[in-house]
Amino acid sequence: MKRALLFLPLVLGAGLFFLFNQMLGHDPSELQLARKDQPVPVFSLPDLHQPDKLITEADLKGRPMLVNVWATWCPSCRVEHPYLLKLAREYGVTIVGLNYKDEREAALRWLVELEDPYAISVFDEEGRLGLDLGVYGAPETYVIDAGGVIRYRHVGVVDEKVWQTVLAPLIESFGS
Amino acid sequence: MIAEIGHFALILSFCFSLLLTVVPLLGAWWRDPLWMGVARPLAMGQLVMVLAAFVALTANFLLDDFSVQYVANHSNSLMPWYYKVSAVWGGHEGSLLLWVLILGGWTAAVAKFSKQLPLDMVARVLGVLGFVNVGFMLFILLTSNPFNRFLPNWPQDGSDLNPLLQDFGLIVHPPMLYMGYVGFSVAFAFAIAALLGGRLDAAWARWSRPWTTVAWSFMTAGIALGSWWAYYELGWGGWWFWDPVENASLMPWLAGTALMHSLAVTEKRGVFKSWTVLLAIFTFSLSLLGTFLVRSGILTSVHAFASDPERGQFVLMFLLITIGSSLALYALRAPVVKSRIGFTERSREIFLLLNNILFVVATLTVLGGTLFPLGAEYFGYEVSVGAPYFNLMFAFLVPVLVLIMGVGVYSNWKDTRPKVLFSRVPVMALVSLPVALVVPWLYGEVALLAVVGTYIASWLILATFLDVWKKSASKQSRWSGWLKTSRSFKGMVAGHLGIAITILGATITSHYSEEKDVRMEAGTVAEIAGFQFKLLGIEGVRGPNYVSDQAHVTITSSSGDIVTTLHPEKRRYLVSGDVMTEAGIDAGLFRDLYISMGEHLGDGAWAMRVQYKPLVRWLWLGAVFMSVGGLLAVADPRYRVKLKQRRQQPEVNTRLEEASTSAVMPDGGGSTA
């Protein structure tokens, strides 16, 4: 009986091995997008700045835009932030911020301190919209066309390279 | 040509490690002294060859040979020579080469400093280390060769090293960290050798202890260096992010801490053998798991290593073979006989067991938090676990651990009289209370977690000092009493104080740091925590491989004295076009003043971030205490007494036996080999 107990680590190790083996070759930066080429899911969430004001999927239509998933607990978001400011200010890109599983106060402080690149800020405290979108973590950035259809999902930091080689050409291709 | 020589040396080193795996292990099996005896020379040969390969790659960097792909991707002719050297380990392939160099170094060190060990034990330990070497060598040679060339056309110049890595911290951080990661493979090799030879006894624990402690000391230093680097180089003053790669280094550290303490029990009392051996396997597995997670690309992280599934597949298979076979060996060979040596619930054994349980729980907490998103994804959910989870779990675990530590240092083996065990608890509890209220009050708001953090730090410092007071009692002066305590005791004191110092630093800096983002132009003054930051001006500066805007900021204290002048920079590296922030930091024992440049806002105005970070240095100061404590413990003469004894055994048998008994087991318990 005691000897049988000693096999426990081996069994647990085998379980982990099975998991890793399944996950391998599954590059998280190319996670399949369940909602690719589908409309933004139906949602109704408060505005980060005005808790009384509700934002819905209808607000995400009319022009191509980026939806940026961020949170104050996410260090890479801080790295990414200055570049988002540049995109919004110098390139005139419309960016919707999806504040994900965060605290309202901390998020507002962040936007005051680091400045606010977002045309609209959605406050997704419980991560509901995040779940519907299939958000893996923060930061993530979705490209949405003028008709409100999700066209692309980028996992990780958006920087000059990502913008110039991936996002900008994509937006240009359907922007006009 | 040099690259080819390096490649060839690497292949030779692989051959040596292959022989090192096969011959001595078979020799130990057949009890053939000749076959066992070749283990030491083979270990040396392997080190010489891998060193030659490493020197060859370094030479390629220094000579700017951009026909070598790895050099072209990680260097540039404009880089200063010292960054060319550190660029050797600036990418996946080269850092693996550093890894095997260090592994070769540890293997050779075991071969050199194992004269007091029985030959079959040496053969088995070196054989297991040789096997680990074979795995990593194959990994390099098959999937990640740093000596591949661009032929026939190669670039005129290299594409530069990631600017984040062009920094002093990155010259020293990876070697230190790898010394720790790889060092735990020695503890693993000893555990496997003991299982193979059926010699899982106190002697085995005594042999593995110093190696484990040295590895742990390096790992502590390595993690602290990484945290310090992130603090000044990433430009916004954070020092720990619970990033998967950081977690990958924290897990073996936590498990290694448990192992270090568990080995003490096994050595002194001969109990918890199976548990200790499992911990040694567990710690090493976590080191390997870290490698797998970082280099297979299954987790996203800011530590971007070029990752591809083929490499992941290889490491996973290596993990399967190594860990699978060692756990199987464990299941079949670990002793299940219940030890006859008794101990009560007030014994040191129990306190160290509690330490082990808490450290293993902490390790599993980090492991769970790191792997949970993967597991959940497999079952169709997508979740992320952020810093809030880890902070919450550690805010609970650390106080429990420290409170038990404060009592545990007074415990004796077998049993402790309650009077001895708890006599200092009232003092510790009562004195810590005002300290825990006054310190946060002096810094500002009295927040619950700040009070808890200060309380446990004070508790631990008091416990340590009262313990030192008790143990340093002497007929002469107290100072000579302190000098008479053993080096392992001094090491323990330093290590435990280090924990308290780090906790205090983390608590105070997390709660009472102040920061402000301000728009500044020449002449603007920003005030924070009573210090005035005045921007004198910004000028263009040209470095060897970058251009930069450098700000000149003077800081004056509230009394009007000039504290210092800082020069934060915004650098643009010429080849890659990457923009980097170099923070300006005035470091002090009690506070750091920190200023970093944000975006240019036009008209000579810049967004600037100024920060006041109290006690932030204590985070790393504590780690210095811990590392030094570990090294002190290893320097204890009792690890060398055995050696002398064995050499001189025939003539002076009795006298030295006495000496060794008193040195190894002051309490008279346990068993010797």
Identity of the residue in B313, B316, B336 whose CB atom sits nearest the CB atom of A6: B336
Q: Identify the CA nearest to B61 among candidates B47, B46, B73.
A: B73
Report the alpha-carbon distance of residue B277 to residue B331 in Å, rounded: 11
Res. B574 pLDDT band, cuts 50 70 90: confident
**Omega of the bond leading into B152 within 30 degrees of 0 (cis):** yes
Tell me, letter by letter, the H, E, C secondary structure of B391-446: HHHHHHHHHHHHHHHHHHCCCCCCCCCHHHHHCCHHHHHHHHHHHHHHHHHHHCCC
Write the DSSP string, A32-84.
--TTTTSBPPP-EEEBSS-TT-EEEGGGG-SS-EEEEEE-TT-HHHHHHHHHH
Residue A153: pLDDT over 60: yes
In this complex, do B375 and A19 lie within 8 Å of one another by their Cβ atoms?
A: yes
CA–CA distances in Å: residue B632 to residues B149, B223, B486, B579, B629: 46, 19, 10, 43, 5
Do residues B598 and B519 make contact, with C-beta atoms less than 8 angstroms apart? no
Helix axes B616-634, B487-512, angle to 10 degrees: 170
- Residues B186 and B208: their CA atoms lie apart, in Å, by 8
Confidence class of residue B654 from pLDDT cuts 50, 70 and 90? very low
The pLDDT of residue B601: 79
Asked if the model's pLDDT at residue B198 lies above 70, the reply is yes
Q: In whole angstroms, how large is the CA radius of gyration of chain A?
A: 19
Residues of chain A with Cβ-Cβ distance to B607 below 8 Å are 115
Contacts of B308 (CB under 8 A, 6+ apart): B297
Render pLDDT for B277-336 as a digit per residue (tens, 0 to 9).
999 999 999 998 887 777 765 555 444 444 466 777 888 889 899 999 999 999 998 887
Q: Does residue B262 have a pLDDT over 50?
A: yes
Sequence-distant (6+) residues with CB within 8 A of B574 are B78, B160, B545, B546, B547
Give yes or no for B281 touching A (CB within 8 A): yes
Query: What pLDDT is recorded for position B639?
Result: 78
The predicted pLDDT at position B339 comes to 62
- State residue B641's pLDDT score: 57
A31: which chain B residues are within 8 Å (Cβ-Cβ)?
Answer: 382
H or E element in which residue B633 lies: helix B616-634
Phi, psi angles (nearest 5°) of residue B591: -165, 150
Test A27 with B292 for CB contact under 8 angstroms.
Answer: no
A146/chain B closest Cα distance in angstroms: 27
Q: Residue B122 is inside which H or E element, if any?
A: helix B119-143
Measured distance CA(A106)–CA(B36) in Å, rounded: 64
Residues 6 or more apart in contact with residue B533 via CB below 8 angstroms? B525, B526, B527, B553, B554, B555, B593, B595, B608, B610
- The segment with the largest mean pLDDT, out of B193-197, B338-342, B473-477, is B193-197
Residues of chain A in contact with residue B302, where contact means CB-CB under 8 angstroms, are 75-76, 79, 157
Q: Do A131 and B313 make contact, defined as CB atoms within 8 angstroms?
A: no
pLDDT at B137 over 90: yes
ipTM, 2 decimals?
0.77
Q: Find the residue in A nearest to B292 (Cα).
A: A20
Superfamily of domain A31-175: Glutaredoxin (3.40.30.10)
Domain map (residue ranges) of chain B: 415-512+618-647, 514-617, 648-673
Checking if the pLDDT of B460 tops 60, the result is: yes
Of all residues in chain B, the one with the smallest CA distance to A160 is B578
CB spacing of A6 vs B316 below 8 angstroms: no
User: Which of A16-30, B22-36, B447-461, B541-555 is predicted with the least confidence, judged by mean pLDDT?
Assistant: A16-30
Please say if the pLDDT value at position B658 is more than 70. Answer: no
Q: Least CA distance to B295: which residue of chain A?
A: A24
- How confident is the model at residue B661, as a pLDDT? 36
Count of all residues that appear for chain B in the document: 673
Q: Report helix, strand or coil for A122.
A: strand
**Each residue's pLDDT tens digit, B343-373:** 888 899 999 999 999 999 999 999 988 887 7
Closest CA–CA distance from residue A4 to any residue of chain B (Å): 8
Residue-wise pLDDT tens digits, B392-425:
899 999 999 999 999 999 998 888 888 888 888 9
B466 vs A: CB within 8 A:
no
Q: What is the arithmetic mean of pLDDT over A136-152?
A: 84
- Please indicate whether, in this complex, the C-beta atoms of A23 and B298 are within 8 angstroms of each other: yes
Neighbours of B119 (CB within 10 A): 17
In total, the C-beta contacts within 8 angstroms joining chain A to chain B are 111
Residue that wins the pLDDT comparison between B252 and B381: B252
pLDDT band at B667 (very low <50, low <70, confident <90, very high): very low
B336 touches chain A (CB under 8 A): yes
Distance CA B102, CA B116 (A): 23
Cβ–Cβ contact B312 with A under 8 A: yes
Nearest CA in chain B to A111: B517
| Helices vs strands, H then E, count in chain A | 7, 7
pLDDT in tens, A31-55: 455 556 788 888 889 999 998 888 9
Residues in chain A: 176
pLDDT at position B254 over 60: yes
The whole-number average pLDDT for the span B48-64 is 96
| Residue bearing the bigger pLDDT, A72 or B430 | B430
Place of tokens 């795996």: B21
Tell me the residues of chain B between 540 and 579 that have a Cβ less than 8 Å away from chain A: 577
Is A155 within 8 Å of B236 when comparing Cβ atoms? Answer: no
Q: Pick the residue of A3, A6, A29, A101 with the most B CBs within 10 A to test the interface with B by mutation.
A: A6
Q: Are B147 and B70 in contact (CB under 8 A)?
A: yes
* pLDDT grade for A1, boundaries at 50, 70 and 90: low
When mean pLDDT is compared over B176-185, B193-202, B511-520, the highest value belongs to B176-185
The pLDDT, as a whole number, for residue B664 is: 36
Task: Say how many C-beta atoms besides its own lie within 10 A of residue B255's C-beta.
Answer: 28
What pLDDT score does B92 carry? 85
Is the per-residue pLDDT at B659 higher than 80? no
Mean pLDDT of chain B: 86
Residue B243: per-residue pLDDT:
79
Q: pTM score, two decimals?
A: 0.81
Which of A110, A82, A118 is closest to B598 using CA atoms? A82
Chain A CB within 8 Å of residue B377 CB: yes
Q: Check residue B657 and give its pLDDT.
A: 37
Of B586, B610, B616, give the one whose Cα is nearest residue B598: B610
Strands A65-70 and A95-100: parallel
Residue B478 pLDDT more than 90? Answer: no
Q: What are the chain A neighbours of B238 within 8 Å (beta carbons)?
A: 75, 78
Output the pLDDT for position B384: 61
Check A134 against B382: CB less than 8 A apart: yes
Residue B10 binned pLDDT confidence (cut-offs 50, 70, 90) = very high
The pLDDT assigned to A31 comes to 47
Query: What is the pLDDT at residue B158?
Result: 82
Q: What percent of chain B has pLDDT over 70?
A: 90
pLDDT, residue B280, reads 96
DSSP B61-115: HHTT-TTBHHHHHH--TTS-HHHHHHGGGSSHHHHHHHHHHHHHHHHHHHHHT-T
Task: Kindly indicate the confidence band of residue A136, based on its pLDDT and cuts at 50, 70 and 90.
Answer: low
Angle separating helix axes B638-648 and B653-664, nearest 10 degrees:
160
What pLDDT shows up at residue B159? Answer: 78
Helix (H, G, I), strand (E, B) or coil at B526: strand
